[in-house]
A and B are shown apart, each in its own frame.
Chain A
Amino acid sequence: MKIHKASLFALYAVLELASDPERQLSATDIADKYGISTHHLAKVLRTLVRSRLVQAVRGAGGGYRFTGVVNRTTLLDVIELFEMLESDLDAPGPRTQAGEAVIDELQSITREIDDLTKAVLDTITLETALNSARHRAKIAAQG
């Protein structure tokens, strides 16, 4: 599975902000941490603000802060703001009747994969992902 850059940047931003909802961070703060383009991230943050997962705080010391519900928002909720996770079989047309059954079967298989992918992403909340990341960091720190 390959998710779009915008979805990935959105996950970085949302997880970073949700890890401490009291904290405000600028797009540059987040972009620097993950080594990504501030310009691209700023665009992504605008979408997150429109979706009300994130609030833009104006003025000196302003930035972005998380306003969603950390134990209710799933990774899929964030990703689907940017893309529908549906595999594109990219079968060139026009179809012939002889090839129809094979193309239908391949489409059915890609749908099965898409359903499994969504079932995973739709049951991992931001809180669960953050807890797992903290656990990973702790283990890494212990060497």
Chain B
Amino acid sequence: MSDQVTIRNTVTSDFDAVIELDLVGDPAEKPDYWRGVFDRYVTAGRDDRIFLVAEKSGEVIGFIVGEVRAWEFGSEPCGWVFALSVLPKSREMGVGQLMLTEMCRHLKKAGVTTVRTMVDRENKLTLSFFRSQGLRTGRYVELEKPLDDL
């Protein structure tokens, strides 16, 4: 088996590996959440919904999920990356960069010219990663407010 990292489309048998790699959120809710994602992004087989994994020596060491979203908030169709994870021991080896580059290729092929993501301001690691890949603050500003005063 090659030691090289390969990026490929996710298949249904990657389900458990993806859940293992998902370090965010409530562990009890992960299977339901990822089942829904697999239904929409793997089984559906649509070109505008992209779910890739990074594999090394037969082990899944990362994943990235993205899609084309159109006309949200008046925006032209645009690529969105909404999930990305790399196995901690495989970080700083260019795995994230390989996955994002491949994701961008797929998105471009699907007809969009821009890729977006949203990251928690405190998540310095992920923000630094996306910035290192050339992403900058975009033209849309995220706004929010707590609803506890209603």
Binding site for B on A (CB under 8 A): 74, 115, 119-120, 122-125, 127-128, 131-132, 135
Q: By the criterion CB–CB under 8 Å, are B132 and A120 in contact?
A: no
Residues of A within 8 A of B134 (CB): 132, 135
- Does B42 touch A at the CB level, under 8 Å? no
State the CA gap A120–B124 with chains docked (Å): 10
Provide the residues of chain A in CB contact with B121, threshold 8 Å.
Answer: 115, 119
Q: Judging by beta carbons under 8 Å apart, are A125 and B132 in contact?
A: yes
Docked pose: A122 CA to B137 CA in angstroms: 13
Chain B: which residue is nearest A118 at the CB level?
Answer: B121
Taking chain B's interface residues, is the majority helix, strand, or loop, or is none over half, making it mixed? Answer: helix
Q: Is the CB of A119 within 8 A of B127?
A: yes
- In the bound complex, CA of A123 to CA of B117 (Å): 15
Additional A-B contact list (14), CB under 8 Å, known A120-B137, A122-B124, A125-B128: A115-B121, A119-B121, A119-B127, A123-B124, A123-B127, A123-B128, A123-B131, A124-B131, A125-B132, A127-B132, A128-B131, A128-B132, A131-B132, A135-B134
Alpha-carbon separation in the docked complex, A124 to B133 (Å)? 11
* Residues in B neighbouring A115, C-beta threshold 8 A: 121
A123, B137: Cα distance in complex, Å: 12
In the complex the two chains form, what is the Cα distance from A123 to B134 in whole Å? Answer: 12
Q: Is the interface of A mostly helix, strand, loop or mixed?
A: helix
Chain A residues closer than 8 Å to B128, beta-carbon distance:
74, 123-125, 128
**A-side contacts of B131, CB under 8 Å:** 123-125, 128
Closest chain A CB from B146 CB (angstroms): 14
Return chain B residues, CB-CB under 8 Å to A127: 132
Across the two chains, which residue of chain B brings its CB closest to A135?
B134
How far is B121's CA from A131's CA once the two chains are assembled, in angstroms? 22
Determine the distance from Cα of A74 to Cα of B137 in the docked complex, in whole angstroms. Answer: 17
What's the least CB distance linking B117 to chain A, in Å? 13
**B121 nearest CB neighbor, chain A only:** A119
Pull 22 A–B residue pairs with CB atoms less than 8 Å apart, ordered by A: A74-B128, A115-B121, A119-B121, A119-B127, A120-B137, A122-B124, A123-B124, A123-B127, A123-B128, A123-B131, A124-B128, A124-B131, A125-B128, A125-B131, A125-B132, A127-B132, A128-B128, A128-B131, A128-B132, A131-B132, A132-B134, A135-B134
Q: Which of B124, B128, B134 has the most CB of A within 10 A?
A: B128
Tell me, rounded to whole Å, the shortest Cβ–Cβ distance linking B129 to chain A.
9
Instruction: Specify the chain A residue showing the minimal Cβ separation from B127.
Output: A123
Residue on B nearest A123 in the bound complex, by CB: B127
Annotate B100-134 by CB proximity to A: 1 below 8 A, 0 otherwise: 00000000000000000000010010011001101
